[in-house]
Structures are given as structure tokens and as C-alpha cells.
Amino acid sequence: MRVLFGMRDLPVFFVVCANPEPIGLAIKHRYGLESDVGDYEARRILEKFVDSYEDLSSAEALGSVVQAMWDKNSLPWVIRSDAASANPKFEEDTVRNATAYDAITTSVPLFSNLRALHKSYEYVQENARVNRHLLWTKWLLEIANQIDPKFRRDIRTLAKPIERTAAEAYKSLGAVTYRVRQRLARPMFEFETDKGNTLFSIFRSLFWEHAREALDDLQTSKDPEDIAQSRALGTLLSEPLRVDAVILLSLLPFESLRRLDELRAGDSGKLPDFHNEDSNVIFEFGCELAS
């Protein structure tokens, strides 16, 4: 190094290949930068040593990984329903044709670390003190605890709004009508709505709509708790990838899966009214978020 720097007419460039996230977290920890501007300050410290950045990462699909992990466990109703049906091609419309597995990619901060996914899964399997049907919720919260503790704190702050938003989204699902078509010897649901072409994409659209309504309601309140929730929810809704994580978190394991065969047996009909059938599950889900 000393010889290179001593050759003043020789231009020298150092290329550092590294993940800046753990380096930034180490800087934040070392200098106590735990405030909301901590990420910005950590970045400024890094920029004293690095002149420019080139992001070489790309989003990787993790649906098959998660599906294999949860193969022997009970998954939320929406996930199992889409997995049991023939679906339109994701590539043709990545928003309206998305399933929950399609939404699980490394571009979502919560899923950027495969090791954390597996460790969190093993942890909740062994140590979860909740009803077994909320393991999916517990798993995602444990990932948030390891990857982004601030995000988990925000979820706790927004426990009631998220619970109400999820309940309203499930309630709205009950108004969706469908037709059943056979495709490659598998039934395919054709939903008569502009919200999406898969059950997950429809639920995601409904969740967004009700979350915005919840934000409007909170912004009119003068209650200090509502003001804090309004601020947290407004920040969350400005980050679509984090909202996707909350939507995945809100997928619940209703026992209505037994009715999936009934839905497929008919030519058309309405989806079950999840909200009235399993309001107890939604209540337990809200308690889990709050705790």
C-alpha cells in the first residue's frame, strides 16, 4: 500500500465488494445512531471512505425456498388456495397475477437474508408460545426482529390499524364472485373483479385501499395515540415493499380451506365471508402484533 501511494503519477482505484447494510448497522451501533436519521448519518460516514457506489444486486425470487420450508406446516388460506389452483402467468402481469410466493423476493428488506429466514423458522417451530395456526405471523415477526427491529416496533405501534385493515380486506373478499375453469386438468379461478387475477393480488389491492382509508381516519383525529399511528402508517405507505411485508404478515390460516373443494366443484359463486366466520383468528392476530 505504501509503495503504491508513493507512486504519485500512478492512478490507483480500490474496488470494495461488500454488502453495505451490515457495515452501516455496525457504524450505527458503534456511534449510537439509533434515531430516525441514523441511516443517513451512517451513510455519510461510509461516504468518507467510498467515493461512489455501484449496486450489483438484483431481486431473487424466494417463493420456492419458502414453500419448501413450510411444506409440512399449515399455511394461510390465501396461499394454499392459490397454490392449489391453476394461476395465470406471473410474467404477463406481475401485479395482477402475483401469488404470495411471487411477492417473496430479496427486494423486500424482510427477506434479504436467507439465513435469517431459516433461523427464524427453526426458532418459532421450537419456541412459539402462540396458537400453532399463527406460526406464519410469528415467523415474519421474528424475521423483522432480526433484520429490522425498528420495523417491528412500527408494527407494534400499528397493531390496531393493521388488524382492522386486514379484517376489512377479508370482509371485502366475501363480495368477490368467481367462475371456475379447467386448465391443464386443474381448476382455475377467474375472479370477476378489477382488483387482480389471483386471490393474493385481490387481497393485496383491498388491503391497500383499506389502509389508505385508515390513514384518512387517523389524520382527522386529535388523540395523541392516533397521531402517532397516523405518522407511522403514513411512513409505511410510502414504502410499497414494506407494505408487501405487512400484507404477507396479514395472511391468516382460516379453517375455511375445507370449503376450497366446494368452490372448485361449482361453476361460479362467491368467496366465503372470512370476517364473520373467523373473527376470533383476526383478534388473536391483532394481539400477537401488539405484543
77-86, 164-173, 187-196, 230-239: least confident range: 77-86
pTM, 2 dp: 0.80
What's the mean pLDDT when you consider all of the chain?
A: 85
Residues 92-144: tens digit of each pLDDT: 999 999 999 999 998 888 898 889 999 999 988 887 665 666 889 999 999 99
pLDDT the model gives residue 256: 55
Strand ranges (E), the chain = 177-183, 186-191, 268-270
Q: Which of 161, 235, 248 is nearest to 204 (CA)?
A: 248
pLDDT the model gives residue 161: 95
Q: How crowded is the C-beta side of 291, counted as CA atoms within 13 Å? A: 10
How much is the CA Rg of the chain, to the nearest whole Å? 22
Q: Rounded to whole angstroms, how far apart are CA atoms 17 and 19?
A: 7
Q: Is the pLDDT of residue 16 over 80?
A: yes
pLDDT the model gives residue 278: 66
Residue 44: band (very low, low, confident or very high) from pLDDT cuts 50, 70, 90? confident
Q: Rounded to whole angstroms, how far apart are CA atoms 43 and 205?
A: 34
Q: Rounded to whole angstroms, how far apart are CA atoms 263 and 177?
A: 11
End-to-end CA distance of the chain: 53
Q: Rounded to whole angstroms, how far apart are CA atoms 132 and 82?
A: 22
Residues 202-251: tens digit of each pLDDT: 999 999 999 999 999 999 998 999 999 999 999 999 999 999 999 999 99
> Can you say whether the dihedral through the CA atoms of 83, 190, 200, 276 is positive or negative?
negative
Residues 235-249: tens digit of each pLDDT: 999 999 999 999 999
Q: Rounded to whole angstroms, how far apart are CA atoms 181 and 112?
A: 37
Q: Is the pLDDT of residue 257 over 70?
A: no
Higher pLDDT, 286 or 279: 286
Residues 168-186: tens digit of each pLDDT: 999 998 889 988 887 667 7
pLDDT the model gives residue 204: 96
